[in-house]
Amino acid sequence: MIADFALAPLLPELILALSGMALLMLGAFSSGDATRTVSGFAVAALLAAAAAAATQSDMRVVLMSGTFVSDPFSSFAKVAILLASAAALLMSLDYNEREGFARFEYPVLMVFAALGMTMMVSANDLISLYLGLELQSLSLYVLAAIRRDSARATEAGLKYFVLGALSSGLLLYGASLIYGFSGSTNFETIAGVMVDHGGGAPVGVVFGIVFVAAALAFKVSAAPFHMWTPDVYEGAPTPVTAFFAAAPKLAAMALLVRVLVEPLGALVADWRQIVVFVAIASMAIGAFAAIAQTSIKRLMAYSSIGHVGYALVGLAAGDETGVRGVLVYMAIYVVMNLGAFAVILSMKRQGRMVETIGDLAGLSRSQPLLAAGLAVAMFSMAGIPPLAGFFGKFYVFMAAVSAGLYPLAVIGVVASVIGAFYYLRIVKIMYFDEPAPAFDPVTEPGQAGVLGVSTAFTLLFFLWPVPLVDAAAKAAAALFGG
Question: Footprint of other proteins on this chain (CB under 8 A)?
Answer: 17, 20-21, 24, 63-68, 103, 105, 108-109, 112, 115, 119, 125, 127-128, 131-132, 134-135, 138-139, 141-142, 145-146, 148, 157, 177, 180-186, 189, 192-193, 196-197, 202-204, 207
Q: How far is the CB of 94 from other proteins (least distance, A)?
A: 20
Give the residue with the Cβ less far from other proteins, 54 or 63: 63
Q: How far is the CB of 478 from other proteins (least distance, A)?
A: 20
Q: What is the DSSP string of 225-292?
A: S-THHHHHHHHS-HHHHHHHTTHHHHHHHHHHHHHHHTTTGGGHHHHHHHHHHHHHHHHHHHHHTTTT
Q: How far is the CB of 146 from other proteins (least distance, A)?
A: 6
Q: How far is the CB of 116 from other proteins (least distance, A)?
A: 8
Q: How far is the CB of 111 from other proteins (least distance, A)?
A: 10
Cα 349–352–356 angle (5° rounding)? 70
Give the residue with the Cβ less far from other proteins, 17 or 308: 17
Give the residue with the Cβ less far from other proteins, 139 or 303: 139
Give the residue with the Cβ less far from other proteins, 106 or 461: 106
Q: How far is the CB of 459 from other proteins (least distance, A)?
A: 38
Contact 421, 406 (CB under 8 A): no
The CB density around residue 140, as the number of other CB atoms within 10 Å, is 28
Give the residue with the Cβ less far from other proteins, 138 or 259: 138
Give the residue with the Cβ less far from other proteins, 135 or 305: 135
Q: Give the span between the Cα atoms of 264 and 271, in whole angstroms.
A: 8
Buried b (16+ CB within 10 A) or exposed e, 441-460: ebebebbbebbebbbebbbe
Identify the three-state secondary structure at position 201: coil
In the chain, count of helices (H) and strands (E)? 20, 4
Contact 395, 325 (CB under 8 A): yes
Reference 376, options 417, 339, 330; nearest CA is 339
Reference 175, options 123, 224, 140, 111; nearest CA is 123
Contact 178, 251 (CB under 8 A): no
Q: How far is the CB of 128 from other proteins (least distance, A)?
A: 5
Give the residue with the Cβ less far from other proteins, 266 or 301: 266
